Chains A and B, each alone.
Chain A
Amino acid sequence: MSVWYPVALARGLEPSSACGTRVHGQEFVVWRDQAGASHVWEDRCPHRGMRLSFGFVRGFHIACLYHGWQFDAAGQCRLIPAHPDITVPKTIRANRYPSLERLGIIWLQLPGETQDELPSDANATTEVRSLTIEAPPDRVSAEFQNRPLARIRVGGLPVIAALQPLSNTETALHLVIEASVGATEQKLVSVWGAALRTRAEAS
């Protein structure tokens, strides 16, 4: 059985960039290659354990900041700059996880106690923002009738609220409008989310 966790807004992660994130305290790197495909891996270089999210994306590889080891989309190490001429052993691999993009959000699949199905991508979406809330996931999900993925209305707009349990004390809230709208609507939902953040942190 498996659970899907939202880890980033899709458009918020630019091509050739990487960022670090967490699910229940476990560290992941989310990165996008130059062609636009996104990847979610364990945030750890198999060489010295450095966080890959500190690294950099070159073409279709992510490179570790520490010694520049480069890994391809399959997680296979392809280049060790200190030994540029060797054929890198097949056993040197980064740890990948299943991920996909839907509803304007990048989702990571982890083993879990339930079997999740993500809703389909039927409608156009407008991404708003990801908020980090210094409050436990339970407290934040109470705002959404304890649902980790809620379809709600904000100012008359159809909004997807996806919760990411960063740790026992922090929660990320990813907000997407399920319609093709402009900056006015994005700002409205963004400010609404910031107010929810304030409320959740104060309670």
Chain B
Amino acid sequence: MSALCLYDYELDENCYKVRLLLAALGLTFRKIAVDMFPGAEEMAPSLLALNPTGSLPILQDDDLTLHGAEAILLYLAHHYDPSLQWLPRTPTLFGQVAMWLQFATVQCGASVLARRQSLFTAEAGEIGLLRQSKHALRIMDDHMTLREFDGDVWFVGTSATIADLALFPAIALSRDYGVEHEAYPALRRWMRKIRHLPGFLTMPGIPNYY
């Protein structure tokens, strides 16, 4: 049995994505709490030795060390999900999951920065970051609007994938950086579906009651 170990910060949405998948897969793991704020512990030499980019999450599985939430999601789904639900292998679905994972990293990156500014500095999120965040959420809402017409409820395919988990925090935590859910009706409905996934976990900013 391998020993999974997650370097985690409770308020970090990228760590949250990984916690969601670990829970959905029912995997046991050791959690090492990293004091990102105010400690900036992710930049300490011991953690930079594991991840030179100075970000969380970091996953260790025996001798393997990975950083980057989307990469970790890919690894966990590929290695620990025999059902193949979370990372479908048919070329079309695989490609679409990969596309949305990249979207979660790149386009939703603005929402990570906006939220970090709002929560951990005295300033509100920069206007430019808010605009980029809203643009990404609009693309997501447009996508799910079209999906709903065909009776689909997930970003890709007919069941939840790691794409859904990777995209979830950008909208679920958007109020942290001052963006309401008003403009995204399809994402509101999709978020309710996410909440019913097996093992679903909340985090600060995502209430238990909804």
A binding-site residues for B, Cβ under 8 Å: 8-9, 12, 14, 17, 19-22, 54-56, 63, 65, 129-130, 132, 166, 172, 183, 186-187, 190, 194
Smallest CB separation, B145 vs chain A (Å) = 5
Q: Is the CB of B150 within 8 A of A183?
A: yes
Q: Is the CB of B182 within 8 A of A22?
A: yes
Interface size class of B (residues with CB under 8 A): 10 to 19
Residues of chain B lying within 8 A (CB to CB) of residue A8: 185
Q: Is the CB of A20 within 8 A of B149?
A: no
Residues of chain A lying within 8 A (CB to CB) of residue B180: 20
Q: Is the CB of B189 within 8 A of A14?
A: yes
Residue pairs across A and B with Cβ atoms less than 8 A apart, 27 shown, are A12-B185, A14-B189, A17-B188, A17-B192, A19-B181, A19-B182, A20-B180, A21-B182, A22-B182, A54-B175, A55-B209, A56-B207, A56-B209, A56-B210, A65-B207, A129-B185, A129-B186, A130-B185, A132-B183, A166-B182, A172-B183, A183-B150, A186-B149, A187-B146, A190-B146, A190-B149, A194-B142
Smallest CB separation, B169 vs chain A (Å) = 17
* B 175-195 contacts with A by CB, 8 A: 175, 180-183, 185-186, 188-189, 192
Smallest CB separation, A40 vs chain B (Å) = 14
Residues of chain A lying within 8 A (CB to CB) of residue B142: 194
A167 to B100, CA, bound (A): 32
Q: B207's closest neighbor in chain A, by CB? A: A65
Residues of chain B lying within 8 A (CB to CB) of residue A22: 182
Q: Is the CB of B182 within 8 A of A20?
A: yes
Q: B180's closest neighbor in chain A, by CB? A: A20
Beyond contacts A65-B209, A183-B151, A187-B146: 9 other A-B pairs, Cβ-Cβ < 8 A, are A17-B188, A19-B181, A19-B188, A22-B182, A54-B207, A55-B209, A56-B207, A56-B209, A183-B149
Residues of chain B lying within 8 A (CB to CB) of residue A186: 149
Residues of chain A lying within 8 A (CB to CB) of residue B151: 183
- Contact string, B119-154, partner A, CB cutoff 8 A, digits 1/0? 000000000000000000000001001100111000
Smallest CB separation, B7 vs chain A (Å) = 31
Residues of chain B lying within 8 A (CB to CB) of residue A65: 207, 209
Q: A65's closest neighbor in chain B, by CB? A: B207
